[in-house]
Amino acid sequence: NHRHLDVALKLPRSLAGLELEARRLLQGQIQRGRLDVSVGVKPLAEGGSALKVDAALARRYIDQALALSDALGLDAEPTVEWVLERPGVVTLGEPEAVAPEAGWPVLAEALARAMEDLVARREAEGEALAKDLTALYDALAAEVERMTQRVPAALAQRAQRVRERIEALLGEHPVDEGRLTMEAAVWAEKTDISEELARLKAHLGQFAGLLREGGPVGRTLDFLVQEMNREVNTLASKANDLELSQLALASKGHLEKIR
């Protein structure tokens, strides 16, 4: 989820001189995100890395064990096996530095294989995610279409309610029919969500285009989802119609799942 590419590369000392080349190879495969790469070296032949025994550390372990045994009144002494199992007593010596011309082909092949596997896994995950997003997009687009179809009837009902209220307030006083119709229409337009629906449809079109385009479009999709959520919130507050409010609520649910 990083905005840029952040590569955390850990190489053994014997390959430290190849870090720059390794980073270039990795950066050519991934565009953004955090990539943690750790490379280990295992000698093919015995004797490639010598075992090292820290005798001073072993002596300290023995002294501490004997002191503890005396303090607790125990009749026990540490064995060689126990001492050798203590952390840091026995270590595997670091292989000697590898010449770049000899080490790079092996390192490059190992990194390339690892990146191929990573890219394949990401593509598989991306395909599954795209399938889910497409299904959610279809559901959201259907809700928007239902809202579009509902708007004319909702406006007509709103205008009628406003008209009835005005008539009730005026009572028996004469009313200019043209003026009454105009006032009712003005009040009804305050709940018109046609502009919000138009922008919402435009965002949906962009969203569908990005899904078809593929590639690293996550941040753009996230921006579009924020814009669509803003439009849905606006039309939900303006609608003043039960069915439209329910459709807006369902749309918000789909957007939340997309996020």
Instruction: Please tell me the predicted confidence (pLDDT) of residue 176.
Output: 66
pTM, two decimal places: 0.60
Q: What is the mean pLDDT of the chain?
A: 84
pLDDT tier for residue 48 given thresholds of 50, 70 and 90: low
What interhelical angle do 19-27 and 100-170 show, nearest 10?
Answer: 40
Instruction: Please tell me the predicted confidence (pLDDT) of residue 217.
Output: 82
Asked if the model's pLDDT at residue 1 lies above 60, the reply is: no
Instruction: Report the number of distinct structural domains present in the chain.
Output: 1
Rg of the chain in Å (alpha carbons): 35
Domain-located, residue 167: yes
Domain-located, residue 217: yes
Closest among 184, 176, 198 to 155, alpha carbons compared:
184
Tell me the per-residue pLDDT of 195-240, one tens digit each, with 9 for 90 and over.
889 999 999 999 999 888 877 788 889 999 999 999 999 888 887 7
Asked if the model's pLDDT at residue 101 lies above 90, the reply is: no
Domain-located, residue 23: no
Mean pLDDT throughout 160-167?
74
Domain-located, residue 19: no
Asked if the model's pLDDT at residue 180 lies above 70, the reply is: no
Mean pLDDT throughout 27-47?
79
Mean pLDDT throughout 99-124?
88
Instruction: Please tell me the predicted confidence (pLDDT) of residue 50.
Output: 65
Domain-located, residue 37: no
Mean pLDDT throughout 247-256?
93
Instruction: Please tell me the predicted confidence (pLDDT) of residue 46.
Output: 53
Instruction: Please tell me the predicted confidence (pLDDT) of residue 98.
Output: 65
Instruction: Please tell me the predicted confidence (pLDDT) of residue 147.
Output: 92
d(CA 235, CA 245): 8
pLDDT tier for residue 144 given thresholds of 50, 70 and 90: very high
- Its domain, for residue 135, covers 126-258
Domain-located, residue 230: yes
Asked if the model's pLDDT at residue 93 lies above 80, the reply is: no
Domain-located, residue 121: no
- For residues 47 and 54, the model is more confident at 54
Domain-located, residue 244: yes
Asked if the model's pLDDT at residue 157 lies above 90, the reply is: no
